């Protein structure tokens, strides 16, 4: 038998045939290794649907590689000799296959890269870790962009990315004369009975087998499995992309910040799962969106808004993650210590907004951006929850969550725990914002118009208490000058009522009472 040249390790979020670890792969000389391992499924207790989605997608991808002629060594979670972690599985494979070199594309999470860096010495086999070329901005380019810069504003990074990709550009100038059309987006919630239903894929035999495995092995994890409808092959993910481009993209911006109890998805793309796992290429998705504008089928505001999320925010948060890790996830600007309220695991709260978003999260392993930011994130921020606990929750419950993208969004954008690297002010808001952008308040047991007292929307007093509590850290922030001036203008009595109302609520929360 010819000796094995490369043992190519492909991780669960590297399911792209164009991935750098496969760039020079030769089925005659190389072996691909894929493994379902307990360490990855439990380092945080991922949502059941997330585990099922990743395992099913991995199994389908292994089939795709086999059809291309590759030898794939695939370890299932329930294989008797499964060694339980990436390192231990690679060790087992090296002993069996004796490759000349182990080849892997750099992982998306710092903890995995840190572990991999020891493999060469531990396994006594050369390990080649290749850059992940699926991202448009390399670590070096981001470091260069960030070097010496005090203002990390995403908008400036985004403009660079527009220039580099040529997306929506006319020479050096942005198409339409502006870089950003956000002012034309973001309308409040409006039901649209004609919005097409989202595509769901009934589980095939592979998914059914995986779902049964997950139900048995991960019973205590959050989430329902009976609603599983994820695309689990590249072809299915492309169907989701095509449906988004045709049916939802033209209205993308309009409802970007809206929330409706009867419609968890509105015009959102539902593509993050597939882009993050490697089924869809981010640049190709953006080119497809750009084509819709160029051929007159979608307005510039919608297409620019969508492209900005991908070549702007997505690339930017990855850059920040690798620039600031390993310390970043420990950031705690406000020194918050409260535990995450129990209702984050059950949705059992009288606050309709939180009950709805958490309920949808349990059902779909998905919530859209503004739900994550302004409902679950906003509440945790106002209540003073330890940002690390908030970070772990987000990493567990969303099927698109990997630390490189989740942590900057949670620690930075949502919890302001990095002290303002990502955002110039905290995304803190009273019930008024949620009331304006959603229909949740209409059926809530709390009254959004009441400011204090037992029946008042808890977000109202918590908002002022948050500003008051963190005055030393925030009152110098120019973007908060107006709310601080309003707080100062209030009578002592009014301020006392807000504080007492917030403290009463937090006391009930800490005592485990239903709130
Ligand atoms: P759309 O709203 O339709 O946006 C289109 C695409 O743009 C997304 O598919 C995604 O690829 C990209 N995108 C949009 N916003 C962001 C962003 N802020 N950061 C990175 N990419 C973005 N996104 C994740 O992929 N994984 C996470 O774990 C994650 N955690 C988040 C936690 C919080 C607190 C917040 C506020 C945001 C988080 N996001 C995360 C970003 C965003 O909410 C999701 O990307 C989006 O909801 C995915 O759904 P969609 O595909 O329907 O996105
Ligand atoms: C998230 C996840 C889970 C739940 N399980 C696996 C697994 O068993 N095998 C695997 O290769 N990848 C898994 N993943 C994705 C990894 O956690 C991800 O590749 C790393 O965190 C690096 O981003
Ligand atoms: Fe949420 Fe307050 Fe509205 Fe109730 S009234 S849904 S708690 S914002």
Phi-psi region of 69 (alpha: psi -120 to 50; beta: other; left: phi over 0): left
Strand order through the sheet with 101-105: 71-75, 31-35, 6-9, 101-105, 127-130
Q: Is the CB of 41 under 6 A from ligand 3?
A: no
Torsion of CA 211, 43, 408, 21, to 10 degrees: -70
Note whether 299 and 293 are within 8 A (CB). Answer: yes
Handedness of CA 299, 301, 306, 312 (dihedral sign): positive
Of 478, 378, 467, give the one whose Cα is nearest residue 428. Answer: 378
73 bridge partner residues: 33
- Which ligand is nearest to the Cα of residue 400, counting in written order? 1
Residue 337 in any domain: the answer is no
Residue 226 in any domain: the answer is no
What is the atom index within ligand 1 of the atom nearest the CA of 367? 47
Of 266, 291, 324, the residue that ends a domain is 324
Residue 369 C-alpha to ligand 1 middle, in angstroms?
A: 6
* Of 251, 400, 406, best ligand 1 pocket probe by most atoms within 8 Å of the beta carbon: 400
CA distance linking residue 98 with residue 112, whole number of Å: 23
What is the atom index within ligand 3 of the atom nearest the CA of 459? 2
Q: What is the CATH number of the domain that holds 50?
A: 3.40.50.620
Of 101, 130, 159, the residue that ends a domain is 130
Residue 176 in any domain: the answer is yes
In terms of domains, do 120 and 168 share one?
A: no
Q: Is the CB of 273 under 6 A from ligand 3?
A: no
**Which run of H or of E encompasses 50?**
helix 48-67
Residue 218 in any domain: the answer is no
**Which run of H or of E encompasses 9?**
strand 6-9
In terms of domains, do 19 and 66 share one?
A: yes
Q: What is the CATH number of the domain that holds 388?
A: 1.10.579.10
Q: How many helices (H) and strands (E) does the chain have?
A: 23, 7
Residue 220 in any domain: the answer is no
Structure tokens at 97: 């296959």
Report in angstroms the alpha-carbon separations of 507 from 273, 341, 377, 503, 511. Answer: 38, 12, 20, 6, 6
* Of 304, 409, 422, best ligand 1 pocket probe by most atoms within 8 Å of the beta carbon: 409
DSSP E strand stretches across 223-268: none
Q: Whose CA is nearest to atom 30 of ligand 1?
A: 406
Q: Name residues of the chain where pLDDT drops below 70.
A: 1, 185, 193
Which residue in the block uniquely carries the two structure tokens 């930017």? 316
Q: Whose CA is nearest to atom 9 of ligand 2?
A: 36
In terms of domains, do 459 and 477 share one?
A: yes
Structure tokens at 303: 């297409």
CA 78 to chain centre: 28
CA distance linking residue 409 with residue 479, whole number of Å: 20
- Which ligand is nearest to the Cα of residue 113, counting in written order? 2
CA distance linking residue 178 with residue 185, whole number of Å: 14
CA distance linking residue 303 with residue 168, whole number of Å: 9
Residue 381 C-alpha to ligand 2 middle, in angstroms?
A: 29
Residue 222 in any domain: the answer is no
Residue 445 C-alpha to ligand 3 middle, in angstroms?
A: 8
Residue 382 in any domain: the answer is yes
Of 34, 38, 64, give the one whose Cα is nearest residue 51. Answer: 38
Q: Whose CA is nearest to atom 22 of ligand 1?
A: 314
In terms of domains, do 27 and 155 share one?
A: no
In terms of domains, do 275 and 387 share one?
A: no
* Of 135, 259, 369, best ligand 1 pocket probe by most atoms within 8 Å of the beta carbon: 369
Q: Whose CA is nearest to atom 1 of ligand 3?
A: 353
In terms of domains, do 488 and 431 share one?
A: yes
In terms of domains, do 401 and 296 share one?
A: no
* Of 188, 380, 446, best ligand 3 pocket probe by most atoms within 8 Å of the beta carbon: 446
Q: What is the predicted pLDDT for the residue at 172?
A: 92
In terms of domains, do 113 and 32 share one?
A: yes
- Local structure of 482: helix, strand or coil: helix
Q: Whose CA is nearest to atom 7 of ligand 3?
A: 351
Q: Is the CB of 463 under 6 A from ligand 3?
A: no
Q: Where in the sequence is the domain holding 122, given as residue range(s)?
A: 6-130
In terms of domains, do 276 and 373 share one?
A: no
CB atoms within 10 A of CB 321: 26
Of 259, 501, 266, give the one whose Cα is nearest residue 375. Answer: 259
| Angle value at C-alpha 395, between 392 and 401, nearest 5 degrees | 165
In terms of domains, do 290 and 367 share one?
A: no
Pairing label, strands 6-9, 101-105:
parallel
Q: What is the pTM of this model?
A: 0.97
Structure tokens at 457: 């929307």
Residue 106 in any domain: the answer is yes
Residue 253 C-alpha to ligand 1 middle, in angstroms?
A: 14
Residues 240-267 as b/e (b if ≥16 CB within 10 A, e otherwise) read: bbebbbeebbbbbbbbbbbbbbebbbbb
Note whether 213 and 55 are within 8 A (CB). Answer: yes
| Overall domain count for the chain | 3
Q: What is the predicted pLDDT for the residue at 191?
A: 74
Which residue in the block uniquely carries the two structure tokens 């948060």? 317
In terms of domains, do 118 and 165 share one?
A: no
In terms of domains, do 37 and 97 share one?
A: yes
Q: What is the CATH number of the domain that holds 190?
A: 1.25.40.80
Q: For the packed helices 315-324 and 154-165, what is the interaxial angle rounded to 10 degrees?
A: 120
Of 97, 130, 163, the residue that ends a domain is 130
CA distance linking residue 132 with residue 150, whole number of Å: 27
């Amino acid at each position: 038998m010819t000796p094995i040249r490369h043992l190519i390790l492909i991780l669960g979020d590297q399911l792209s045939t164009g991935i750098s670890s496969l760039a020079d792969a030769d089925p005659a000389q190389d072996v691909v290794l894929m493994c379902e391992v307990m360490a990855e499924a439990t380092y945080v207790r991922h949502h059941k649907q997330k585990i099922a989605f990743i395992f099913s997608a991995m199994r389908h991808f292994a089939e795709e590689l086999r059809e291309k002629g590759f030898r794939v060594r695939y370890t299932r979670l329930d294989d008797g000799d499964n060694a339980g972690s990436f390192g231990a599985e690679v060790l087992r494979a090296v002993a069996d296959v004796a490759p000349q070199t182990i080849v892997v594309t750099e992982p998306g999470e710092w903890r995995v890269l840190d572990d991999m860096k020891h493999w060469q010495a531990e396994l006594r086999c050369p390990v080649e870790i290749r850059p992940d070329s699926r991202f448009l901005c390399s670590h070096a380019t981001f470091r260069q962009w960030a070097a010496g810069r005090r203002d990390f504003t995403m908008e400036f990074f985004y403009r660079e990315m527009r220039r580099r990709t040529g997306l929506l550009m006319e020479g050096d100038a942005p198409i339409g004369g502006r870089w950003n059309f956000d002012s034309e987006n973001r309308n409040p919630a409006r039901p649209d009975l004609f919005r097409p239903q989202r595509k769901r894929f009934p589980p095939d035999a592979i998914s059914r087998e995986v779902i049964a495995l997950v139900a048995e092995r991960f019973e205590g994890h959050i989430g329902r499995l009976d609603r599983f409808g994820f695309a689990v092959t590249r072809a299915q993910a492309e169907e989701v992309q095509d449906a988004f481009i045709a049916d939802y993209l033209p209205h993308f911006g309009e409802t970007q910040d809206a929330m409706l109890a009867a419609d968890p998805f509105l015009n959102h793309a539902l593509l993050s799962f597939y882009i993050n796992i490697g089924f869809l290429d981010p640049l190709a998705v953006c080119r497809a969106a750009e084509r819709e504008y160029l051929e007159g089928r979608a307005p510039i505001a919608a297409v620019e808004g969508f492209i900005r999320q991908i070549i702007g925010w997505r690339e930017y948060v990855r850059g920040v993650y690798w620039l600031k890790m390993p310390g970043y996830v420990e950031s705690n600007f406000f020194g918050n210590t409260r535990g995450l309220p129990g209702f984050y695991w059950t949705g059992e709260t009288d606050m309709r907004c939180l009950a709805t978003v958490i309920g949808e999260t349990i059902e779909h392993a998905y919530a859209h951006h503004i739900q994550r930011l302004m409902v679950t994130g906003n509440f945790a921020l106002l209540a003073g929850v330890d940002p690390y606990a908030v970070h772990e929750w987000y990493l567990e419950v969303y099927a698109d969550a990997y630390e490189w993208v989740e942590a900057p969004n949670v620690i930075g954008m949502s919890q302001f725990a990095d002290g303002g690297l990502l955002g110039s002010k905290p995304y803190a808001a009273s019930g008024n914002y949620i009331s304006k952008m959603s229909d949740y308040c209409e059926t809530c047991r709390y009254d959004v118009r009441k400011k204090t007292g037992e029946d008042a929307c808890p977000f109202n007093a918590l908002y002022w208490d948050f500003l008051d509590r963190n005055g030393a850290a925030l009152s110098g922030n120019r973007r908060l000058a107006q709310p601080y001036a309003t707080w100062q203008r209030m009578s002592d009595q009014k301020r006392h009522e807000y504080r007492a109302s917030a403290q009463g609520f937090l006391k009930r929360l800490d005592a485990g009472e239903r709130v």
